[in-house]
Structure 1
Amino acid sequence: MKLRHIEIFLALARTPNMREVSSRLFLSQAGVSSALRLFENELGVLLFDRVGREIRLNEKGRLLFTYLAPLYRQIDDSIDMIMSGAMVGNVKLGASATLADYVLPQVLYDFKTRHDRVNISLESGSTKEIVKQVEAGTLDMGFVEGDVTSTGVRTASLCKDNLVVISSDIKLAENGPYPIAKLAEKNWLIRQEGSGTRELFLQNVMQKGVSPKIFLEFSNNEAIKTVLHNPGTLTCISPRVVESELRRNEFYTVPISDVQFSRFFLQVLHKRRNLSPLLQGISEAVMERLANSFAKETATRNTPASR
């Protein structure tokens, strides 16, 4: 069954005149008549009664028109929408924890508000999990932190992220800066294996010959923030995760004298895929949000010296 046959049937149902329909659809009258005959033969029923040289919808034709007309209109509108170049489409994104929980939600909300014909789903996972899904094609685009070694994807740097050591103990923060070795025996709270934050922290401290006391491991940052209120606990985390707690003086940045924890947030795309206008628009929105949050982080980072 051809879509063109349905179009001709609907046109004849509205205007049962072969000459008018053929002129409107740029077909010959014989072509219109032939298409209608093929359509009826394929269905196995007559849709029009032939009265002399005229045609009129019969009861089955009227019923079919009732169902097909709105469906065809939806098809026509959908095709026009896709061809218009507007921001439309269904997008599957993935992001590692910091970005998925603390950056992307508001970005995607704002983007959806501006482009209501875009449907976006966001999946959270470790950097390795997100990269694997982008490589497999189950995600359109990913946003991650940490190193990406896969040769099946392309990456682009979005923004630098400087992790900070955080405590709820203001006295500990006031007496810094510290060499990292001096804090090794504190109760460190870190993410579980596979986390980019965990890998960056451990890699940097071990390069200093330090083995921190890992007190507890968690699958998410919210659990770390809850336990961090206990005395003697520390964590190394993106300031974006604790932005509101730093502002409320719940947590404090503990200055470290001999090591920095720097990484880049990365955009991940399949190596054979180019950014569509829609994906480009989302990417630019994420970059703008990261740039703005970095400026805010720099201005409001809570250390005792800055209070």
Structure 2
Amino acid sequence: MLIRSLRSFLALHRHGTIVAAAEKVHLSQAAVSIQLKNMEDELGIALFVRTRRSLEFTSAGRQLVSLAEKMVSIYEEMKAIKGGGPIGGFLSLGVINSALGGVLPQLLKEMTLKNPGLEVKIMAGISGELVSQVNRGTLDMAIVTEPPQRFPTNLSVHYLYSEPFALLTPAEVPYQDLVRAFKSSTPYIAFERSTWAGQLIDEFLMKRGVMTKPSMELNSLDAIAALVSQGLGISIVPLIRGAAWHASPNLHVVRLPNFERPVSLITRASHEHDALTALVLSSFSTVDWNN
């Protein structure tokens, strides 16, 4: 079976249509259709359900996705070892929102400058959703925060950096002490408590005997910062790099000691040592944390 057929198969899975898949692999729609039909004939398995307007994956076709990814990944790794040159192919990378404006631009620049044949698709989201997508094989890897419990055992975890948490108060009430801030009559604007960050914040406050009754819950750091800057409450949020609100004259930001969350790169364990994982980790080591 040709690697190019597997690339077309994966492109269809990722982009949903023959038209989009053909565009991604730089072939005609007819050529992609022939490749997919040849795969079915060679394997003796129905991979798709064909209708007049679409091509849907069968259960067997969906099961084949992770195996096809492994085969393409191994092939790219073999090419990199042989030539010591750039890596090509496709990488689907999940990224938590807090990394989008900070580490991600530097990471992508480093990866794509040295590997112009590499196509990177970014999927932004919250950690729990991204972990599930890596676990299912719909993402190759993801930059996420650590969960309140543990990662699934079939995932490999590579620590990258830590994000501190901070107390946000309006500039006119610049509390330095956490307990005093929460004993005041100022409303508490909570980071959404169903998220991992929200659960960490709740646990942090409970350990310090701080009882809260949020006036509202939000899952947007920018929105929380804007509300606090208008004097509508106080909050605890991750202190992310590159956020414009850090320098707001209407905000008082106090970093909380001994309270931070690890951020890691996760991959399926079967991909732990592949060329793309190594590329992301090596590119990450070049990130300038002073920028």
The 1:109–1:255 alpha-carbon spacing in structure 2 relative to 1, beyond 3 Å, is: closer
Quote how far apart the aligned CAs of 1:90 are.
0.7
SS in 2 for 1:222: helix
Residue aligning to 2:158? 156
CA distance in 2, matches of 1:86, 1:113: 10
Q: How far has the Cα of 1:122 moved from its partner?
A: 1.1
Aligned-pair CA distance for 1:193: 4.2
Letter matched to residue 99 of structure 2 = L
* Equivalence for 1:133: 133
Q: Secondary structure at the match of 1:187?
A: coil
Specify the alignment match of 1:273 in structure 2.
Answer: 271
Rg larger in structure: 1
Residue 189 (structure 1) shift: 2.5
Q: What letter corresponds to residue 127 of structure 2 in structure 1? A: T
User: How far has the Cα of 1:101 moved from its partner?
Assistant: 4.8
Give the equivalent residue in structure 1 for 2:145: 145
Q: What amino acid is aligned across from residue 163 of structure 1 in structure 2?
A: F
Please report the TM-score for the alignment, with normalisation by the length of structure 1. Answer: 0.59
Per the TM alignment, residue 263 of structure 1 is displaced from its structure 2 partner at its CA by 1.6
Unaligned runs of 5+ residues in structure 2 are 3-75
Aligned partner of 2:97: which letter?
Answer: A
Match of 1:19 in 2: none
> Structure 1 residue runs of 4+, over 6 Å off?
79-83
Query: What is the letter of the counterpart of residue 107 of structure 1?
Result: L
User: Does the aligned pair in 2 maintain the 1:128–1:194 contact within 8 Å?
Assistant: no
Output the amino acid matched with 2:128.
K
d(CA) in 2 for partners of 1:103 and 1:224? 22
Alpha-carbon distance between aligned partners in 1 of 2:95 and 2:177, rounded to the nearest angstrom = 33
Gaps of 5+ in 1: 3-78, 297-307
Alignment match, 2:212: 212
Aligned mates of 2:141, 2:167 — CA distance in 1 = 30
Q: TM-score, normalised by structure 2?
A: 0.62
1:237 partner SS: strand
Q: Who is 1:301 aligned against?
A: none
Instruction: Please state how far the C-alpha of 1:205 moved relative to its aligned partner.
Output: 0.2
Please tell me the residue identity of whatever aligns with 2:182: L
1:44 maps to none
| 2:115 maps to amino acid | H
SS of equivalent residue, structure 1 residue 228: helix
RMSD: 3.0
- Secondary structure of the structure 2 residue equivalent to 1:225: helix
Rounded to whole Å, the distance in 1 between the matches of 2:92 and 2:178 is 43
